[in-house]
Amino acid sequence: MTTLPSGDIVELVKDKNFTAFEDEGNVIDMQGKVKWFNAEKGYGFIETAEGNDVFVHFSAIQTDGFKTLEEGQSVEFDIVEGARGPQAANVIKL
C-alpha cells in the first residue's frame, strides 16, 4: 500500500486485467498534462482538460526504453477500468 500526496491509498499490482470504458462502442480517448510522475516508483497522475486526475502506471507508457513522464508534459491516452478504478492506458507523449 502507498499513500499518495492527495491522501489516497493505492496498491500497485503487477498483473491486471483491464476493461476499457466505452462511449457508444468507442474507447474514450483523452488528452491531458502530467500532473506528477515518480519515475522511481513508476506511477503518477495525469490531469485531464476537465481537471480530473487519472492514475498512470509506467507500464501504460507507449515508448521504447525507460518509461517515464515529465511534469507538465502533454499526453494522449485511453481511460480504462483497473482494479482500483479509472486509470490511463496507451499513453503517448505529444
pLDDT in tens, 18-54: 444 444 444 567 999 999 999 999 999 999 988 999 9
Q: Domains in the chain, start-ordered, CATH in brackets? A: 2-93 (2.40.50.140)
Query: What's the predicted TM-score (pTM) here?
Result: 0.70
Q: Which residue has the higher pLDDT, 89 or 86?
A: 89
User: How far does the chain reach from its first CA to its final CA, in angstroms?
Assistant: 31
The pLDDT of residue 2 is above 60: no
pLDDT in tens, 49-84: 889 999 999 999 999 999 999 999 999 999 988 888
- Predicted local confidence at residue 84, as pLDDT: 84
Spatial contact of 10 and 2, defined as CB atoms under 8 Å apart: yes
